Amino acid sequence: MKPTIKDIAAQAGVSIATVSRVLSNKRGTYSEKTKEKILKVAKELGYHKNTTAVDLVKKKADEIAVIINATPTNFSNMILSGIQQRATELGQRVIILYAGDRNTDMQHQAITTVMARSVSGILLLAVEPDATDLELLKETRTPFCFVSLYFGDDQILSISSDNKALAYQATEYLINNGHTKIGLAGIDDYHTGSQRVLGYQTAMRDHGLVAKNDWVKRGDYSYEAGRQLLQAFLPLEVTAIIAASDMVAVGLLNAAQQSQIAVPDKLSIIGIDGTFICEVTTPPITSVTQNFYEIGVRSVDKVMGKATETFVPTRIVVRGSVKLNR
């Protein structure tokens, strides 16, 4: 049997109330002497506070729940580091629930699980919620915040890069380097994808270029998607492609090399994300790099009710996969 405050109280010859006060650090409500005694007994007994009981009586857990979607891209670690860091600073524990790979059932289940626990906030990492999920989430009084996903709905908390701006930035970078026929590969049909298409199209228009419809190809952000899409781009004769993720970029790169298309001489590729994988390919991949750590930090602020910008700036990191114009 695990020891409880009752055991400590008995051992120390005080009431459970006193034990509770000492263990919860309610300073000024107990004498130094009883404190010493209680702490000593607690250690002897190998006591650990039962969080479940505390949470029940306090009707709130100092805990942030992160529901995470295992997408093919893997920037999650960086976001998690940021979350963990900031949460600890704010005295919150962090628990992570894994929602599989875009698996609706598991997503549901994760949300339900979290709602049944009185967490102080819910962070949804790369989760595209369906109508039911959103319903559930709203129904709860717990604040929730989408991370790395922007709804375009200011009623719903979220933190992410500005996908429109990001795509604009990538497109403009390519245009500035002399490209006019630019593809966009591997984006999805949801919020993130459409925002990026918009940014891409706007940049093209702003520079007096036309973005052909079939220059935009859907995919699932994966390496395989990248590989396959290269073939689709071949007859289109674009000179540069914006990849929806680093993984897509690597897929394009490898497929290109296999087809004897020199990167960046014949084809330029720019990735989106800027994870380590950009650095280990040959040539290394130029990317629009997202500040994932900061996204994590701010998501905690946001869900804890602190004011923060919704968008975290991105930047171009020049490596070797885009042909430079000089």
First to last CA, the chain: 75
Nearest to DNA of 30, 151 (CB atom): 30
Shortest separation between residue 27's beta carbon and DNA, angstroms: 9
Q: Quick one: which of 20, 34, 35, 100 contacts a second copy (CB under 8 A)? A: 100
Report whether the peptide linkage leading into residue 72 is cis, meaning its omega lies within 30 degrees of zero: no
Residue type, 213: N
Long-range contacts of 27-36 (CB under 8 A, 24+ apart): none
Cα–Cα distance for residue pair 34/32, rounded to 1 Å:
6
Number of chain positions touching a second copy (CB under 8 A): 45
Q: Does 112 bind DNA (CB under 7 A)?
A: no
Site string for a second copy, 258-287 (x = CB under 8 A): ------------------xx-xxxx-----
**Part of the chain binding DNA (CB under 7 A), chosen from 4-12, 61-69, 213-221, 318-326:** 4-12
Task: Provide DSSP, 14-55.
Answer: S-HHHHHHHHTT-TTSS-HHHHHHHHHHHHHHT----HHHHH
Shortest separation between residue 3's beta carbon and a second copy, angstroms: 11
The partner in contact with residue 14, picked from a second copy, DNA, none with C-beta cut-offs of 5 to 8 angstroms by kind, is DNA
**Part of the chain binding a second copy (CB under 8 A), chosen from 10-18, 19-27, 246-254, 314-322:** 246-254
Query: What sign results for the dihedral spanned by CA atoms 101, 107, 111, 114?
Result: negative
Q: Does 110 bind DNA (CB under 7 A)?
A: no
The token pair that represents 326 in the structure block:
């000089």
The token pair that represents 84 in the structure block:
């963990």
**Part of the chain binding DNA (CB under 7 A), chosen from 27-35, 71-79, 198-206, 299-307:** 27-35
Q: Does 116 bind a second copy (CB under 8 A)?
A: yes
Nearest to a second copy of 56, 318 (CB atom): 56
Q: Does 24 bind DNA (CB under 7 A)?
A: yes
Q: Does 60 bind DNA (CB under 7 A)?
A: no
Q: Does 208 bind a second copy (CB under 8 A)?
A: no
Contact 239, 215 (CB under 8 A): no
Query: Hey, which residues does 312 pair with through a beta bridge?
Result: none
Residues 6 or more apart whose Cβ sits within 8 Å of residue 172: 203, 206, 207
Restricting to residues 256-285, name those near DNA by CB under 7 A: none
Q: Does 14 bind DNA (CB under 7 A)?
A: yes
Q: What is the Cα 302 distance to its own chain's centre?
A: 14
* Residue of 196, 192, 195, 191 lying closest to 183 (CA atoms): 196
Q: Does 228 bind a second copy (CB under 8 A)?
A: no
Q: Does 102 bind a second copy (CB under 8 A)?
A: no
Q: Quick one: which of 36, 40, 44, 58 contacts DNA (CB under 7 A)? A: 58
Cα–Cα distance for residue pair 170/176, rounded to 1 Å:
10
Q: Does 43 bind a second copy (CB under 8 A)?
A: no
Nearest to DNA of 14, 119 (CB atom): 14
DSSP state of 235: G
Cα–Cα distance for residue pair 194/67, rounded to 1 Å:
23
Q: Which residues bind a second copy (CB under 8 A)?
A: 2, 46, 48-53, 55-56, 61, 70, 74, 77, 80-81, 84, 93-98, 100, 106, 112-113, 115-118, 139-141, 223, 250-251, 254, 257, 276-277, 279-282
